[in-house]
Structures are given as structure tokens and as C-alpha cells.
Amino acid sequence: MDSKTNEQTEYVVELMENIIEDTTVPRNIRKAIDEAREKILSKENSMDVNVTSAIYIMDDISNDINMPSHTRTEIWTIISELESVREQTKG
């Protein structure tokens, strides 16, 4: 994994941690984001598999009606960054 991908991954994890620590975000959403973060940090599978799993989790919760609008925007940003990371790690 190159340094640009590493930086993007660190940025995404930081964004996720900010949401996880935000107590105005419902617990089920924070839990799902934490699960997605664990997927990204996991060494079990290849990076593109882990990132794809995280994208699915984030996409699932992005439509939650209880989500604050600022959090939804952050989640879309995270998904976009993850899709970029996935493209770079494919192969």
C-alpha cells in the first residue's frame, strides 16, 4: 500500500473516530461506524475486501432516519474516500 493510500486510510479512520465520539449521534450508528472502522484496520483479509465491507456497513446506515444531517454528510465523505482507497488497492 502506498503512502497516499495510507494517508487516506488514516484520514478516514480519524473521521470515523470523530463520529464514534460524538454523543449526539445515536448509539446504533456509532456502533456500526466502529464496526466499519474495525474492518478497515483488520489485517484478516486483503485491504480491498476490508474496505468493501466497510463501505457496505456505512452505506447501510447512511439512510438511518435518526441520523443528524451533519453526520450523514460526514458518512458520505467517508464512503467517497473509501471508494477511492478501494480503487487504489485493487489488483
CATH of residue 58's domain is: 1.20.1440.50
* pTM, two decimal places: 0.91
How far is residue 64 from each of residues 4, 7, 22, 72, 87, measured CA to CA in Å? 31, 29, 16, 9, 27
If one counts every other C-beta atom within 10 angstroms of the C-beta of residue 21, the result is 9
> What pLDDT was estimated at residue 1?
64
pLDDT in tens, 31-57: 999 999 999 999 888 888 999 999 999
How far is residue 78 from each of residues 16, 52, 72, measured CA to CA in Å? 8, 12, 10
If one counts every other C-beta atom within 10 angstroms of the C-beta of residue 78, the result is 24
Gap between the Cα atoms of 43 and 28, Å rounded:
25
Domain count, the chain: 1
> What pLDDT was estimated at residue 91?
61
Domain that holds residue 32: 3-89
List, for the chain, all residue ranges whose pLDDT scores fall below the cut of 70: 1, 91
> What pLDDT was estimated at residue 5?
83
